[in-house]
Amino acid sequence: MLCLLCQQDYHCDFSLPHFLARQPDRADLLCPDCLAAFSLLTGPVCAGCGRSFAKGPFCADCCYWQRKGAPNLQHRALYHYNEQMKVYMAAYKFQGDYRLALVFRKELTAFVRRLKRHYQANLVLPIPVSPTRYQQRGFHQVAGLLAPGLRQQGLVVAQEPLQPQSALTRAARLASAQPFAIAENWQPHLKGQRILLVDDVYTTGRTLQHAAACVLAAGAQAVFSCSLAR
Ligand SMILES: [Zn+2]
Ligand SMILES: [Zn+2]
């Protein structure tokens, strides 16, 4: 089989009838070398943003957010945003290979469901994609990483960013204006709810803080967040 990330031809250990009878999984898409290069985020983490951190409850970035009065989203991520995850995100998001969503869908779905129980959240909202980006790509990059039952589109991108977030400097991202709005007819569904936001990658926390501010302004009681990587 050809690995979708490194294009290496690799041996996959099953018979064709077996392969046809089951749901494809990550071993059908990526070679063992590529799979082994992802790094799970384990060990002590910051209580605010979920980065590896053992020197206290909150890292310096989270102390900055707290001084600005931002809510503590108790963010948790599954993987480190290492070189391999960058390669994966580039192929998935920027080259738009939707098959790659399957590499993490099962695992991220289980992670989100676990956190949903842990935070006693009643609603999961993936970070939305802008209409322009949706047209270019043909899929919702974050929702695609989740099982269909977790793809509620309660948030929309109201303001089209001039440049993709990935093209901005850290300072520009931190200063960017609120890009999100509540989707039509969704306002009543958010009132008094505990919401778990899901993103693909946590970089500065700005995107999730914007989304959190948006749902809190709509009457949500509490908001938490998680991502595939950070
Ligand atoms: Zn590979
Ligand atoms: Zn932190």
Residues 6+ apart with CB under 8 A from 70: 209, 212, 213
Q: What is the pLDDT of residue 65?
A: 84
Estimate to the nearest angstrom the gap between the alpha carbon of 179 and the chain centroid: 17
Q: What is the pLDDT of residue 42?
A: 94
Shortest-distance ligand to the CA of residue 204 = 2
Residue count of the chain, please give it: 230
- Say how many Å lie between the CA of residue 19 and the centre of ligand 2: 42
Q: What is the pLDDT of residue 181?
A: 94
Q: What is the pLDDT of residue 124?
A: 98
Residues with Cβ within 5 Å of ion ligand 2?
46, 48-49, 59, 62
Q: What is the pLDDT of residue 177?
A: 82
Task: With H, G, I as helix, E, B as strand and everything else as coil, classify residue 77.
Answer: strand
180-182 and 155-157 strand pairing: antiparallel
Q: What is the pLDDT of residue 163?
A: 61
Q: What is the mean pLDDT of the chain?
A: 90
Report d(CA 41, CA 104) in Å as an integer: 14
Report d(CA 55, CA 62) in Å as an integer: 13
- Say how many Å lie between the CA of residue 24 and the centre of ligand 1: 16
**pLDDT, tens digit, 9 for 90 and up, residues 86-129:** 999 999 998 889 999 999 999 999 999 999 999 999 999 999 99
Shortest-distance ligand to the CA of residue 84 = 1
Residues with Cβ within 5 Å of ion ligand 1?
3, 5-6, 31, 34
Residues 6+ apart with CB under 8 A from 23: none
- Say how many Å lie between the CA of residue 44 and the centre of ligand 2: 11
Quick one: pLDDT band at residue 60, thresholds 50, 70, 90?
A: very high
User: Which pairs from 174-177 meet CB under 8 Å and 24+ separation?
Assistant: 174/204, 174/206, 176/206, 176/210
- Say how many Å lie between the CA of residue 11 and the centre of ligand 1: 11
DSSP code for 2: B
